[in-house]
Amino acid sequence: MDGRLLLSTFLTASLSVVAHASVDRPPQLVAIAFDNCTELERWRELNDFAAEMNRDGERVHFTFFVSGVNFLGDIERTHYHGPRQRPGAAMINFGGTLEDVQKRVEFAKELHRRGHEIASHAVGHFNGATWSAAEWAAEFKAYDGLLERVGLSAPVAGFRAPYLATSPGLYAVLKERAFRYDASRTALANEWPQEIDGIWRFNLVGLRLHGSGKNVLSMDYNFFFAHSRAIDDPSSQSLFRDQMIETYLDYFRSNYSGNRAPIHIGHHFANYQGGAYRQALMIFARAVCSLPEVRCVTYSMLADFLDQLDPATLAAYRRGDFPHAGPPNLNVARRAQSQ
C-alpha cells in the first residue's frame, strides 16, 4: 500500500466516524435451521423445546428445510419421479408408514401455527449441481404437489439445496417461483446477507473449530466429519459437544460485539455422535436466545427484517458503523442437559 492510499484510507476511516455516528445498533439475529427433517422424535423434541423457551415470550423460532419424501409413505414412493431417476427413487428414506407421515404433517402444521417456518430442501435429496432449470422446475412442482396432498398450506418462501449443490438453473427457477431466499451457499462469519437478483442469500459460514486449527462449516454434519470422518465416536462425545458449544459461542461473541452480522447455524434431525451435537445446539440456543439484544428467528423473519431496511442503514451495518456492544452476558448451562 503506498503512502497516498494509506492516507486516503485513514481519512475515509476517520471521516466515517465523524460523519455517521449514524445508525442505532441492530439486534443480533440468529437463524437456526434443520435439514431433511424425518425423525418424529426430533419433531417432538424441537416442538417441546421451542414451546418451553417461548412460554412467557417469543424467544426462538426455527426454520425446517423439509425434504419432500417425508410426506410420502414408503408404500406410496412411486408417486415421486425425480429428475433423471426411476419412479420411487430417492437418496434418503421416504416417510415410513402412512401413520408416520400423518404424525409428521401434524408436527409441521403445529410448528407453523406457532410461528416456525417450513421451507424446502427439495424432494428426493439428489445432487442437482448439473440440473437444468427445467429439471429444478420439475422438482419444485413435485414438492408443491406433495405439500398439497397432505394439506400443508404453508407458503414456502425459502430453499436449501441438498449437499448445498446448486446450478444456474436453480436460481432461475427460484426467481420464477418468487422465492424470497436461498440458503445453499457459504460465506464469511461476519458478512451481512446480500440480495442478488431479488433473492436473499442466507449463507452458512466458515468457522474455526474452537481450540484447533481446523475450519468447519456452521453445520452439524461438517463438525461430524471434521471430528471423526462422519463415524460415531462414543468415547469423545462430551468433548465434541463442548467443542461445538465453544465454537458457536466464539462465532456469537464475535458477531455480537462486532458488526452484528446474522448468525447462521444448520443442523439435521439425525442423531450424529449419539446426540452430542443436538445437546450442544440446545445449550447454545438457551444461552443466547434469551438475551435482550438477540432475536432467534426464522429465515423469513430475517428476510422481513432486511426488507424493511433502507440501503444506507444496511450499508452502515455491513461496515459495523454503529456503537458496538461489549461482551454478551452469557449463562451457559452445560450441565442442565444430561440426557
Q: Which residues lie near Zn ion (CB under 5 A)?
A: 35-36, 162
Rounded-to-integer distance, Cα 194 and Cα 338, Å: 39
Report the residue number, 63 or 255, with the smaller CB distance to Zn ion: 63
Considering the complex, what minimum distance in angstroms separates the CB of residue 245 from Zn ion? Answer: 23
Residue holding cell 404433517? 105
Q: Do the bridges between strand 186-187 and strand 117-120 make them parallel or antiparallel, or are there none, so unpaired?
A: unpaired
* Residue, CB closest to Zn ion: 35
Rounded-to-integer distance, Cα 229 and Cα 223, Å: 9
Report the residue number, 31 or 249, with the smaller CB distance to Zn ion: 31
Rounded-to-integer distance, Cα 90 and Cα 81, Å: 9
Report the residue number, 35 or 117, with the smaller CB distance to Zn ion: 35
Residue holding cell 408416520? 100
Report the residue number, 186 or 257, with the smaller CB distance to Zn ion: 186
Report the residue number, 165 or 301, with the smaller CB distance to Zn ion: 165
Strand partners, 212: none
Residue holding cell 442503514? 313
Considering the complex, what minimum distance in angstroms separates the CB of residue 250 from Zn ion? Answer: 25
In angstroms, how far is CA 169 from the centroid of its own chain? 22
Report the residue number, 223 or 256, with the smaller CB distance to Zn ion: 223
How far lies 106's CA from each of 61, 66, 101, 154, 253, in Å? Answer: 17, 14, 9, 13, 37
Rounded-to-integer distance, Cα 250 and Cα 131, Å: 37
φ and ψ of 181, to 5 deg: -155, 155
Q: Residue 258 is which amino acid? A: G
C-alpha cell belonging to residue 291: 438475551
Considering the complex, what minimum distance in angstroms separates the CB of residue 233 from Zn ion? Answer: 22
- Exposed e or buried b for every residue in 109-130, given b needs 16+ CB within 10 A? bebbeebbbbbbbbbbbbebee
Rounded-to-integer distance, Cα 270 and Cα 67, Å: 13
Report the residue number, 96 or 328, with the smaller CB distance to Zn ion: 96
